[in-house]
Structure 1
Amino acid sequence: WRFTSLCFGNHQVVGVGSGSTIMYAVDRLAERVRQEKLNIVCVPTSFQARQLILQHGLTLSDLDRHPELDVAIDGADEVDAALTLIKGGGGCLTQEKIVAGCAKHFIVIADFRKDSATLGQQWKKGVPIEVIPMAYVPVSRTIAKRFGGEAVLRMAVSKAGPVVTDNSNFILDWKFEHAHNWKEVNTAIKMIPGVVETGLFVGMAERVYFGMEDGSVRVRDPPVN
């Protein structure tokens, strides 16, 4: 992953995201820290990311000690032509967005299958929305009424009942029916009482690296307005 040479320098604070692709980035980061004796501090976006940092012997920190990050690196469930992301397939969207928002640079690495012209083209599971448990029914009704589609409570696979996030909340997956103005919709959904955060990352990613089928890497920057 050649992006690691671009993203990480010495004495940097790095936000480490969640999900399958990030494992490769952390492997490479740990390798560079050992080889080049870099002084890197890592802030995780989830319990999974925290374990990954510790397993690789990297220095673990948090936003209390390091509220400003040099760079945050994370995956995505889908990326559109404008670099708007859907995130939260793994349920860590709120902490991922907080960490990304604290970083001077937010970089995304993703599999080529996450690349879409418009959101919903590849990712069919909808936009994850973290909600306070008591509010999940009114929130799902409000979203369906105002924006169409349906917002479904995400159920756990190996446990009875709903998925519970690292923040002890529930997740609704909003299966939208058509393209929207994602910036406006993101703001409107966040204003619904009981919504904690949405998995729409609008205007946040500075660059996306797509790992291609042949092992090459394709880079995408935001469109120039």
Structure 2
Amino acid sequence: MTSGSNPALAALALSPDPPAVPAKPVITQVLDTTLSVIEKSKRLAAWTAVDHHIRPEHKIIGIGSGSTVPYVVERIVAQGEQVNRDRVFLPTGFQSKELIVRANLRLGDVDQYPNIDVTIDGADEVDHELNCIKGGGACHLREKVLAEAADTWIVVADYRKNSQTLGTTYRSGVPIEVAPFAYAKLLQNVRRLGSADAALRMAQGGKAGPVVTDNGNFVIDAPFDADAFADPHSLLARIKLLTGVVEVGLFCKMARAAYFGNADGSVTIKWDDGKIEKGSSLPT
């Protein structure tokens, strides 16, 4: 699932020498090993995508959201101060803004730079046609704006997000950003579209009440069955037409390519023309 701001991960991703930790029980060590594989796969996807698509001539670059994105920024920084000096980086939310600022990269906004060379972003799930579910971190309105503004939109994720059909691995549902005053009626209408378990996303960590996006809106999570996801574009259109919907976390046929880091140290690249490539070497 695409996450929101993760300062611990950001610090780890931007630090060449993670701090030493004391020995842990065997069960915890096994869990840490699993997480290490996942983090390495995220890093592989991000590094490879940056190497392939962030070229010296690219000056306006969109930085997306999620747990893979710190590795995108890490790899961009590794290109050097000289090449980054004349670049401007546009964030999709608080997390990516913090990553840009902490990396001493120049921060910009899409209202200043409506034409973007490349945007690299994460995803909650990607199907065989590069349709994506996004919005687990409640940033999908701004993410979609930066995706549409980019000449090239690239998705990076680990192997768990690579699916044949949407809704297979990401079961929380389609994220729908909605006007707060209309959420109750929209819940009824989304359920009538076939999402019987559609629900308002509630805040975690002790805060009472719903999640509020950077735009001041609420989020409805709407699970649909496999038949609905057979045509994601049609599902997107039906939801988007509901009055009060601000944006829908379905990104249909927008990506040029999707990069997935695999557990075996390889990377799978899916292209928008249907071609699939797999490489076995780590970027240097």
TM-score by length of 1: 0.95
> 1:27 Cα deviation (Å)?
0.6
Specify the SS of the correspondent of 1:147. coil
Matched residues in 2 for 1:20 and 1:128: separation? 18
Q: Check if 1:8 corresponds to 2:54.
A: yes
Q: 1:177 aligns with which of 225, 239, 258?
A: 225
Q: Check if 1:186 corresponds to 2:186.
A: no
Q: 1:110 aligns with which of 145, 157, 160?
A: 157
Matched residues in 2 for 1:109 and 1:190: separation? 25
Q: 1:72-111 maps to which residues of 2 (within 5 A)?
A: 72-111=119-158
Q: What is residue 252 of structure 2 aligned with on the other side?
A: 202
CA contact (8 A) 1:33 1:39 kept: no
Q: Deviations over 1:9-47 (max 9, x none)?
A: 235210000111001010110111337555321000001
Q: Check if 1:164 corresponds to 2:209.
A: no
Q: Deviations over 1:104-154 (max 9, x none)?
A: 000000010001111111111111000000111111111111234321000
Q: Which moved more, 1:102-111 or 1:10-19?
A: 10-19
TM-score by length of 2: 0.76
> 1:216 Cα deviation (Å)?
2.0
Matched residues in 2 for 1:47 and 1:166: separation? 8
Q: How many residues end up aligned between the 2 structures?
A: 225
Specify the SS of the correspondent of 2:67. coil
CA contact (8 A) 2:195 2:224 kept: yes
Residue identity over aligned pairs, in percent, reads 45
Q: Check if 1:53 corresponds to 2:90.
A: no
Matched residues in 1 for 2:50 and 2:153: separation? 13
Structure 1 letter corresponding to 2:119: A
> 1:177 Cα deviation (Å)?
2.2
CA contact (8 A) 2:50 2:76 kept: yes
* Cα distance change, pair 193–208 in 1 and its aligned pair in 2 (3 A): same
Higher helix share: 2
Q: 1:35-74 maps to which residues of 2 (within 5 A)?
A: 36=83, 39-74=86-121
CA contact (8 A) 1:207 1:222 kept: yes
> 1:3 Cα deviation (Å)?
2.1
Q: Check if 1:219 corresponds to 2:269.
A: yes
Structure 2 letter corresponding to 1:192: L
Specify the SS of the correspondent of 1:59. coil
Cα-Cα RMSD: 1.6
> 1:214 Cα deviation (Å)?
2.2
CA contact (8 A) 1:32 1:38 kept: no
Bigger Rg over Cα: 2
Q: Check if 1:125 corresponds to 2:156.
A: no
Higher strand share: 1
Matched residues in 1 for 2:84 and 2:95: separation? 25
Matched residues in 2 for 1:68 and 1:37: separation? 18
Q: Which moved more, 1:129-138 or 1:208-217?
A: 208-217
For structure 1, list consecutive stretches of 5 or more residues without a partner in the other structure: none
CA contact (8 A) 1:33 1:40 kept: no
For structure 2, list consecutive stretches of 5 or more residues without a partner in the other structure: 1-46, 275-284
CA contact (8 A) 1:143 1:150 kept: no
Matched residues in 2 for 1:37 and 1:166: separation? 27
> 1:222 Cα deviation (Å)?
2.3
Matched residues in 1 for 2:257 and 2:66: separation? 18
